[in-house]
Amino acid sequence: MATVVEKFGRRETLTRAERFYVVYDALTLEAAKSAIIAAAPTYVAGFPQEDVEVEDLDVEAGTYLASVRWSYRAPGGAGAATGVPVLSFNTSGGSQRLTQSLSTVNSYGAPGFTAPNFRGAINASDQGVEGVDVVVPVFEWSETHRFDDSDVTWSYLTTLRNATGKVNSSTFRTQSGGEVLFLGAEGTLLSTGEWEITFRFAAQDNQTGLSVGTITGIDKQGWDYLWVWYRPYLDATTNLIYQVPTAAYVERVYRRTDFADLDIGTDPLD
């Protein structure tokens, strides 16, 4: 009767697990595989058994080496990934240069000198506005889905390519249109014949009623770009010339698309 002994070297990730075994006294490779299937757990870390690979070490002695894999499987769908994906996120934010503050908390002039009112411009001078680099809120997350091999066609890959670097045109994962940027996808063909594809996204809030200096009522979608035009201003109090915000512009720099074309199902947190 064949004997199965587990070797050292288990491997586990968020989506799969793998263990290694040695089979002794098996009459054939098929008998060794049957012994492995019977001895190995049906589930590991909640993942169902995926496949078993067996190779001979010493056929005459009936010794075989085997690896067994368990992995996450989303129920199949016609052209779409369904079920609960593996989800990860970070809120570490990003860096952005700002030329305007939210508000000027205070200003201090030298004795006998009144500090100029730069109207929120940061590091302003008669030459221009230098600004400052700050951390701004950017929420990033990824979703890993499984697809049947027949669903991952060149047409679908072209859809992913064309959606990369575009922003949602309508609500996606509770985020309003204009707030989510698709950063792209990365896929791997597994030994089971399924594709495992990870989709990456970033989100920034839409904003309304923004103010820049004396300019008010500015509306900006999350991934649109807001910039400010400054012009020289003569301060009658100090008799100084410096740059002040005179006009604000909201520019559309990312195209919009329907993220339903990604075929990754409903919100994983619903």
In the chain, where the domains are located: 3-71, 76-270
Percent of the chain whose pLDDT exceeds 70: 91
Question: pLDDT digits over 53-98, tens only?
Answer: 998 888 888 899 999 988 765 444 434 554 456 777 777 766 777 7
Burial readout 135-148 (b: 16 or more C-beta within 10 A, e: otherwise): eeebbbbbbbbbbb
- Residue 254: name the closest of 166, 193, 184, 191 by CA: 166
- Taking the C-alpha atoms of residue 201 and residue 196, their distance in angstroms, rounded to an integer, is 17
Amino acid in position 90: N
pTM for the model stands at 0.62
- Taking the C-alpha atoms of residue 184 and residue 166, their distance in angstroms, rounded to an integer, is 9
- Banded model confidence at residue 127, pLDDT cuts 50, 70, 90: confident
- Banded model confidence at residue 171, pLDDT cuts 50, 70, 90: very high
Site of tokens 């996204």: 201
DSSP string, 11-65: EE-SSEEEEEEEEES-SSHHHHHHHHHHHS-SEETTEEEEEEEEEEEETTTTEEE
- Taking the C-alpha atoms of residue 192 and residue 176, their distance in angstroms, rounded to an integer, is 37
Site of tokens 């990730």: 13
